[in-house]
Chains A and B, each alone.
Chain A
Amino acid sequence: QVQLVESGGGLVKPGGSLRLSCAASGFTSSDYYMSWIRQAPGKGLEWVSYISDIGNTIYYADSVKGRFTISRDNAKNSVYLQMNSLRVVDTAVYYCAREYGPRNYHYMDVWGKGTTVTVAS
């Protein structure tokens, strides 16, 4: 069964750090690009970051660039999001998603259930 499971969320103070993990099962994650997407309470979806299959291409949303770092360990079938200098506005459910399709023609066909990050003092 193709599945993504996020973990690592929690409550953190402003300025703090968290590392989110996304574990893939039922498929070889190294064959796919992966993205992180977040959703603030009561708000819409916001793309956060993307990493290519071998990790040599990475993009970030402007709102997190310089503070968040995406990485992957294909041996562990996992993708990570290191979040530093967290702000209250980073409070959200964070989803990881698999990108499927030919290069430059991707769509997100599998999503995890999400992990909740709360930034508050």
Chain B
Amino acid sequence: SYVLTQPPSVSVAPGKTAKITCGGDNIGSNNVHWYLQKPGQAPVLVIYYDSDRPLGIPDRFSGSKSGNTATLTISRVEAGDEADYYCQVWDSNSDHWVFGGGTKLTVL
């Protein structure tokens, strides 16, 4: 089955840039979506189709993809960005949605 690999944790100081990676075989051929989830809350879509931002998501959030890795970048990090972040793709070989294991972003 298809696997997406994320680092368990990323730490960043306020005002700096955080990069959260998501690795997967041939991920370049998949649309990658990103969600954030704060404790006790439902996930929220922050990036879709690799780099598009839904209405209401600050432009500090951006997405990119290169080789076998997709990256969520959060610029000018704020304390309120502290959350778990998940990447997601549709695996057309198995007809399954696949989530990465999640990355806990800590704002120092």
Contacts and interface: CB of A to CB of B under 8 A. Distances in A.
A106 B32 CA distance: 10
Contacts of A59: 95-96
Interface string B89-105: 01010011111111000
Contact of A45 (B31, B44, B54, B102): B102
Contact of A112 (B42, B95, B99, B100): B42
Contact of A44 (B44, B95, B101): B101
Contact of A61 (B37, B48, B96, B100): B96
Interface residues of B, number: 26
A59 B1 CA distance: 15
A113 interface: yes
A107 interface: yes
B10 to A, nearest CB: 15
A107 B102 contact: no
B54 A111 contact: no
A53 interface: no
Interface in A36-68: 37, 44-47, 50, 59, 61-62
Interface string B58-74: 00000000000000000
A35 interface: yes
Interface of B: 1, 31, 33, 35, 37, 41-45, 48-49, 54, 84, 86, 88, 90, 92, 95-102
